[in-house]
Amino acid sequence: MGCINILSGYSQNSHQKIDDALSILVLNLMPNRLETEHQIIDLLKQTDLNINLTFCRMASHHIKHFNPEIIEKYVTTKDVFEDHFDALIVTGAPLDRKNFHDVDYWNEFVEFIKWRKKHVDTCLFSCWAAWAAGTIDGILTGKQLDQKIYGVYTTDGITMPQSRYFTIPRNDVKAKVLAGNDSIGATLIFDSNTNSYYVTGHLEYGTKTLADEYFRDVKKGLDTTKPNNYFDSQNHPVNSWHTDATTFYINWLNQFTSSK
């Protein structure tokens, strides 16, 4: 098993980079930052690679439930402005019912997406970030939905959780659509010009993540339907995507193994 050397974030375990390791930057936009950190770290551990991992946040974002630890433990996009990374992961965010320009850090996000073209070798954008980054890059056109795409779906042999109020029609993509269908749109897109992957789902989700979302919404009294293709007959969540998620991450990062 490789070493995950975590340089910032709640999961920080080191203050110094290790030599001959992949450098990966994670822009963590999720409100449950610690849970998201654990999910990404667990997936990266499956790759058996040595990794220097940096978690960062948007400098201009007004954090709704402010926690001073976020300021203490997270670096900002401005802190890494002069750095270079082998890979970038940008998480999803519960923003898909807003217009892009209503997001408080939208201008900073646009600059960051442009910045990464000269400072990052390969990128992985998830859920809202896939839609937003693909729009900025000019390779896709998505649209908001009134009905949530919610559950676990398999398209073109790739299974992953989906939890979103948007879709990206396959005909509205200018890059290569690796997976998708007419019902839920493109789910995996690759742009060779920037070596970027746009994933509309959440490969990183743990077994109970969708269940936690669902029961939280039920507790709030929201009119929420059960996630599709997720609970078994006993109402237990079933993780049917772990193998595909692990395989994707391994294949994605193996492009660097010959040089590290």
CA 257/CA 193 separation, integer angstroms:
21
| Residue 15: how many other CB atoms lie within 10 Å | 8
Please give the C-alpha separations between residue 223 and each of 27, 150, 215, 216, 231, in angstroms, as whole numbers.
31, 13, 11, 11, 18
> Which residue out of 37, 123, 127, 213 is catalytically annotated?
127
Provide the H-helix boundaries in 105-201: 106-119, 128-137
Please name the residues in contact with 139: beta carbons below 8 A apart, sequence gap of 6 or more: 173, 174, 175, 189, 191, 198
CA 207/CA 15 separation, integer angstroms:
31
CA end-to-end span of the chain: 15
Residue type, 208: K
Please give the C-alpha separations between residue 127 and each of 60, 95, 96, 189, 244, in angstroms, as whole numbers.
21, 10, 9, 12, 17
CA 20/CA 52 separation, integer angstroms:
9
> Which residue out of 37, 108, 204, 213 is catalytically annotated?
204
Residue 202 annotated to the active site = yes
* Helix, strand or coil, per DSSP, at residue 202: coil
Calculate Rg over the CA atoms of the chain.
Answer: 18
Residue 127 annotated to the active site = yes
Nearest residue to 44 (alpha-carbon basis) of 92, 6, 84: 6
> Which residue out of 38, 202, 236, 242 is catalytically annotated?
202
Residues with catalytic function: 127, 202, 204
